[in-house]
Amino acid sequence: MWERIYRMLVKEFIQVLRDPRMKALIFVMPVIQLIMFGYAVTTDVDHIKTAVCDLDKSPQSRALIERFTASGYFAVVGHTDNPLRLGELLDRGKATIGIQINRGFADDLRSGRQAVIQTIVDGTDSNTGTVAMDYAQRITQEFSRARAAPIELTQLAQALTNPIELRSRAWFNPDLKSRYFNVPGVIAVVLLLISLLLTAMAIVREREIGTMEQLMVTPIRPLELILGKTLPFVLISFIDVLVVTFIGVTWFHVPIYGSLWLLMFGAGLYLMSTIGVGLFISTVSQTQQQALMSSFFFYLPAVLLSGFMFPISNMPEPAQWLTYLNPLRYFLIIIRDIFLKGSGWEILWPQFAALMALGAVLLLISSLRFKKRMT
Amino acid sequence: MKKPNFSRIRLWALVKKEFIHIVRDPRSLAMAFLMPLILLILFGYAITMDIKTLNLAVYDQDKSTASRNYLEGFPASSYFSVVAAVASYAEARAMVDQGKVHLALVIPRHFARDLEQGRATKVQLLADGSDANTATIAMGYVEAITNRFSTAQLGAKVDLAVDNRLRVWYNPELKSRWFIIPGLIAVIMTVITALLTSLTVSREWESGTMEQLIATPVQPIELFLGKMAPYFVIGVLDVLFSVAMGVWVFDVPLRGSFLFLLGVTAMFLVGGLSLGIMVSTIAKSQLVASQLAMVVTFLPAFLLSGFLYTIDNMPRFLQVVTHVVQARYFVEVLKNIFLKASPPSYVADDLIFLGLFAMVVFVVALRKFHKKLA
């Protein structure tokens, strides 16, 4: 039996690695994905494109604008003297926020009247819009406060206008870098795509070009065939985990506080599920086109409903229940906690247990289906 | 042998052949229409970027009227749900550690006394920073609630020297749905054009029917167009379907011109389908083609198009890379048509790039195709 599995393994490896393009893709794809996710997925908002229409042109109005740019959140991309032009810049998408300071701003401030400025925010991107509004409001308030309090009284005024001092600390990721959060997640997503797609398509391919019949007339047993077909992809996936982890740690400087062995163990359990799904797709697909489409049908919802990019706690209840059937959900918690929190077995065991159960069930169902189709 | 000229009859025959291929595989066809449906539902209902409920643990050492008043502001804001009142600092820590809460708030023993005596008091906030986005927004909310409480404590409302009058254009309620759905249509279309066409040519190679086609007097350009035409029709139908869902199911306003939308879609489809066929031509095997299609179409469309993640926030080199991502221009133009409805001349750069992309990829793909056939 082991001899047959071994032969099957050798055949699979030859087949997968025969095509030099495939060889490159298997190892280059995870790296490209990591780089794209690592750099592109920043939800940190800064350098918001700002257009300024300063009609007052006073030291005071300049000081206010200065406060906006000094904060680092806003970058002035254009000045204009025409309020209509401000709207046009937003229409064209050249600016995300427009600030208009009318004539009389400095006079109002000097004579103790409340001065008014106007800010238009492009709400198309709701996320950036919300943050931009928040920053703009905060900066204006700070400006007001600084003006209201004579310098020597600043301390007192601070206590007066702000009796509660809030000391915030973010744990595990003190600088709130979204990259730290994303890179471990990418490893999980890359694994899913590779193991799922390769397994599903490689099996259907044998059926499509007719070599499945040839395999079936050999004395190989269904279980051996399944093992021989899936083990190469398990191995490739493990190598990919190492490659991506290595780049994540060395290139992106993502700290890894926990145990690498525990991570590998989790990856093994996770691959049971993903390969189980791949196997299942292969039993319901006639052509590789169908296998590709079906894999995508699983892949996209799995990624979106995993907490990878969108927190699960924000989803409506029914969607939250669905996430419990998603192996990615559990592995994401495992990999992030091991990387960022250094959590060990005692905290993560429920995730491991869930992943193990899910993997066992998926693998069992697909293997049975696969066996039935063979005989 | 005399080279035969372009023939409309042969082209028509090829289009029919490709249509038969598609119809014979109703599952793939059904998925081409189910994909937008599922993605739109997922993004429309299941996924919001708006952060709604943040779980908060509270360690109130003071237990005074003042501290209770302060804490009441949290559930009242509807962003927070106080899930636990803990009795020790270690417990608050453990809650954050285990991921049971996003934030823990620690109120010091002399909170009420300090406030009464006009001394500044210190409230400590512990946030789980592993999700940077949620943490940043959560910390902002806590700050806002704290500021409001501080102002209320002062009794009299302090008049601020400058009143900033904020107005939000295009999406006044800042609904993330309005932001996501127009971009999503562009991403869906990229995925579908790639999934549909990336295997068409490699399939013929793999099953050996390409040799049969070469043996016929069919010309490469006819074959190319014949492969493209049916998917173009499916693509247009998909766009119409997605736009209809966006407008009628998700209430995203379509403020711009519908005809303009159709024109841009056609331009986009020519580029997208040509790219898929090119991938298919280069790859030869379906396994390679599918992987390659992921790298050159789906991932860039999802990550580098500005659909979710603002291009301006990306590092310089990646911003340059986004210029060769076709979806970027389509996302930009669709957002414009849906929400801004500014004249086409305002998005002229995007239109030029979209056209350029379609032309270049079409020509290169055809060339590659030519070479492989000859």
Token pair 């331009």 is found at B267
pLDDT for the residue numbered B223: 83
- Report CB contact under 8 Å: B46, A305: yes
Q: Delimit the domains of chain A by residue range.
A: 17-41+178-374, 48-161
Beta-ladder partners of A53: A100
- Report CB contact under 8 Å: B286, A292: yes
Give me the residues of B, 200-239, that contact A with CB < 8 A.
Answer: 203, 206-207
Nearest to A300 among B39, B55, B168 (CB): B39
Token pair 């400590």 is found at B124
Q: Delimit the domains of chain B by residue range.
A: 33-47+176-373, 54-153
Show the CA angle centred on residue B75, arms to residues B74 and B80, nearest 5°.
75
pLDDT for the residue numbered B356: 92
* Position B120 confidence tier, pLDDT thresholds 50, 70, 90: confident
State the average pLDDT for chain A.
81
Residue B140 host element (H or E): helix B132-153
Look up residue B125 and give its two tokens: 């906030």
Euclidean distance between CA atoms B341 and B49, whole angstroms: 24
CATH tag, B54-153: 3.40.1710.10
- The percent of residues above 90 in pLDDT, for chain B, comes to 8
Long-range CB contacts for residues A260-264, cutoff 8 Å, separation at least 24: A262/A338, A262/A344, A262/A345, A262/A348, A263/A334, A263/A335, A263/A338, A264/A238
Q: Between B174 and B94, name the one with better pLDDT.
A: B94
Mean pLDDT, rounded, for B212-217: 79
pLDDT for the residue numbered B124: 86
Mean pLDDT, rounded, for A213-230: 79
Domain A48-161 has CATH 3.40.1710.10: yes
- Report CB contact under 8 Å: A134, B140: yes
- Report CB contact under 8 Å: A36, B163: no
Q: Is B5 on the interface with A (CB under 8 A)?
A: no
Look up residue B94 and give its two tokens: 């453990």
pLDDT above 90 (res B96): no
Nearest residue to A234 via CA among A206, A201, A274 = A274
Q: Give CA separation, B181 vs A248, A279, B307, in Å.
A: 32, 33, 9
pLDDT for the residue numbered A134: 77
- The percent of residues above 90 in pLDDT, for chain A, comes to 8
Report the side by side order of strands in the sheet with A164-171: A164-171, B121-128, B103-107, B54-60, B80-85
Euclidean distance between CA atoms A149 and A137, whole angstroms: 19
Indicate the range of A2-6, A33-37, A332-336, B118-122 predicted with least confidence.
B118-122
Mean pLDDT, rounded, for B272-296: 84
pLDDT for the residue numbered A342: 80
pLDDT for the residue numbered B183: 86
Nearest CA in chain A to B123: A166
Instruction: State yes or no: ipTM above 0.85.
Output: no
The answer to whether B102 and B128 have CB atoms below 8 angstroms apart is yes
Q: Is B156 on the interface with A (CB under 8 A)?
A: no
pLDDT above 90 (res A330): yes
Q: Is A289 on the interface with B (CB under 8 A)?
A: yes
* Position A357 confidence tier, pLDDT thresholds 50, 70, 90: very high
Mean pLDDT, rounded, for A103-111: 85
pLDDT above 80 (res A158): no
Nearest residue to B285 via CA among A233, A292, A237, A192 = A292
